[in-house]
Amino acid sequence: METTTNSLFGFLGENLQQFLSYTAFSHMTVGHIIMMMVGLGFLYLAIRHEFEPMLLIPIGFGILIGNIPFMPGLRIGIYEEGSVLNILYFGVVQGLYPPLIFLGIGAMTDFSALISNPKLMLIGAAAQVGIFGAYIAALLLGFMPNEAAAIGIIGGADGPTAIFLSSRLAPHLMGAVAISAYSYMALVPVLQPPVMKLLTSRKERLIRMRPPRAVSHLEKVMFPIIGLLLTCLVVPSGLPLLGMLFFGNLLKESGVTRRLAETARGPLIDIVTILIGLTVGASTQATTFLTGDSIRIFVLGAASFVVATFGGVLFVKIFNLFLKEGNKINPLIGNAGVSAVPDSARVSQVVGLQYDKTNHLLMHAMGPNVAGVIGSAVAAGILLGFLS
């Protein structure tokens, strides 16, 4: 009888021990706890302060999912072949999601501001200096050129582009690059205003720009067609992003494919955003994410945003030297050259209103903002062409 009792307790004890070994607690490390705190921080920023909630909530929750430790081999982790998360992550690894997001962006973007004042396109080009500033800095920190390019693209302030390029050039850095890009996109209202105020005088901040003219339907239809031909003939490697961006825009502007445009800018982009956000977040498992490289990538990412803002604002100031009075551009829209649409344009508006309550810069800033999307996709195409 006693033997039976002993063996029963022994059996239960073994089972309990086995159960405990399967719980997350027995595999928990300090790294996991740190990453969970980061995930919770993202959720806090998104819910409490509404910093890019559409991105930070999926990413933040994804970080929580990805950092719950488990017994390896159960096919549940994002890096375990055949797991559900791994299958969803396929779209990130293979660069499937970013072009679909670009399709949606194209279908929701109104290029009128750019078409009515095409010189604003040049600001979108100038702000790409952030990408190459970060590229140089990353090389100096010892990264290989392909890794430096993946890091530099954070300065383009375009999450899908960053994911697309890093998946091609440096897949091992993709998690850190994506998290960094999205984090700083959310922090655009914090990062950009000090630089904008530092580089501009009060007089410059008060410049009133001429209201944009009305743009005809024909011009709107021509823009995606000419845009595609011009940019992709120069940089064919940018086709996946630029092709989808302009295609989406043509769906919107043609006026005869309303259903397709609505799907692209509505359910499709929502679905892909959920998948990309969640899986990118979940890819930040502490065991693979918490490295010295990730920290350096975060530092470089912040620097690239600052350099991009510098580039955009300084370019406007120099450009203004060649423009007649009345045609001058308010340098506060220079920051919008980074393609964080529409956040950086909103920053221009907010900072502009701080100095003149009636000077609304939003519509003007949308020009360089959407030009920045094109510029960063072209830059990504160039880096891909050179380094792949």
Partner 1 sequence: MIRRFFDARFFAPLFSAGRRIGASGIFALTMAMLWSPDVQGQRATDLRLNEFMAINKTNYEDDFGERSSWIEIFNSSYGTVDIGGCYLSDDVNNLKKYPIPKGDVLTSIKPRQHVVFWADNKPTHGTFHLNFRIDDTRFLALVASDGHTIIDSVSYPEQTPDVSYGRTEDGAGAWRFCELTTPSTNNALVLLEAASDRFKTYDPTGVAMMITAMTVVFLALISLFLIFKYVGKTALWVIALRGRKIPRENPAQVTVSGEKQQPSPGAVFAAIAYALRRYEMEVSELESNILTINKISKTYSPWNSKIYTLRETPVKK
Query: Could you give the residue ranges of the DSSP H alpha helices within 49-110?
Result: 53-66, 84-93, 97-108
Looking at beta carbons only, is 38 or 149 nearer to partner 1? 149
Looking at beta carbons only, is 69 or 248 nearer to partner 1? 248
List the one residue from 36, 40, 108, 139 that touches partner 1 (CB under 8 A). 139
Identify which of 19, 56, 122 has the alpha carbon closest to the alpha carbon of residue 343.
56
Is 319 a residue that touches partner 1 (CB under 8 A)?
Answer: no
Is residue 276 helix, strand or coil? helix
For residue 370, CA distances in Å to 60, 62, 133, 147 come to 27, 29, 21, 26
Give the other-Cβ count within 10 Å of 382's Cβ: 18
Amino acid (one-letter) located at 77: G
Binding mask 359-388 for partner 1 (x = CB under 8 A): ------------x--xx--xx--xx--xxx
Looking at beta carbons only, is 97 or 223 nearer to partner 1? 223
CA separation for the pair 351, 330 (Å, rounded): 11
Residues 6+ apart with CB under 8 A from 146: 169, 170, 387, 388
Tokens of 270: 């929502």
Tokens of 327: 């045609």
Q: What is the DSSP letter of 155?
A: G
Residues 6+ apart with CB under 8 A from 31: 286, 287, 290
Tokens of 267: 């359910």
Looking at beta carbons only, is 28 or 387 nearer to partner 1? 387
Is 167 a residue that touches partner 1 (CB under 8 A)?
Answer: no
Is 226 a residue that touches partner 1 (CB under 8 A)?
Answer: yes
Q: Output the smallest distance, CB 223 to partner 1, in A.
A: 7
List the one residue from 104, 106, 193, 227 that touches partner 1 (CB under 8 A). 227
List the one residue from 135, 164, 182, 310 that touches partner 1 (CB under 8 A). 135
Pair 78, 285: CB distance under 8 Å: yes
Is residue 78 helix, strand or coil? coil
List the one residue from 119, 208, 317, 360 that touches partner 1 (CB under 8 A). 119
Is 354 a residue that touches partner 1 (CB under 8 A)?
Answer: no
Is 247 a residue that touches partner 1 (CB under 8 A)?
Answer: no
Amino acid (one-letter) located at 104: G
- As a whole number of Å, the end-to-end CA separation of the chain is 72
Is 273 a residue that touches partner 1 (CB under 8 A)?
Answer: no
Looking at beta carbons only, is 100 or 123 nearer to partner 1? 123
Looking at beta carbons only, is 63 or 169 nearer to partner 1? 169
Is 15 a residue that touches partner 1 (CB under 8 A)?
Answer: no
The residue whose two tokens read 């904008």 is 196
Binding-site size for partner 1 (CB under 8 A) equals: 48
Is 223 a residue that touches partner 1 (CB under 8 A)?
Answer: yes
Looking at beta carbons only, is 187 or 241 nearer to partner 1? 241
List the one residue from 33, 71, 87, 234 that touches partner 1 (CB under 8 A). 234
Tokens of 97: 């999601």
Is 324 a residue that touches partner 1 (CB under 8 A)?
Answer: no
The stretch near partner 1 (CB under 8 A) out of 20-28, 71-79, 102-110, 115-123 is: 115-123
CA separation for the pair 171, 268 (Å, rounded): 25
List the one residue from 121, 151, 365, 370 that touches partner 1 (CB under 8 A). 121
Classify each residue of 137-176 as buried b or exposed e, where b means 16 or more C-beta atoms within 10 Å of its C-beta: bbbeeebebbbbbbbbbbbbbbbbbbbbbbbbbbeebbbb
Looking at beta carbons only, is 58 or 368 nearer to partner 1? 368
Q: Is the dihedral of CA 159, 164, 167, 168 positive or negative?
A: negative
Looking at beta carbons only, is 49 or 172 nearer to partner 1? 172
Is 161 a residue that touches partner 1 (CB under 8 A)?
Answer: no
List the one residue from 15, 21, 216, 327 that touches partner 1 (CB under 8 A). 216
CA separation for the pair 303, 148 (Å, rounded): 13
**Given the rule CB under 8 A, which residues bind partner 1?**
114-116, 118-119, 121-122, 124-126, 128-129, 131-133, 135-136, 139-140, 144-146, 148, 169, 213, 215-216, 218-219, 222-223, 226-227, 230-231, 234-235, 256, 371, 374-375, 378-379, 382-383, 386-388
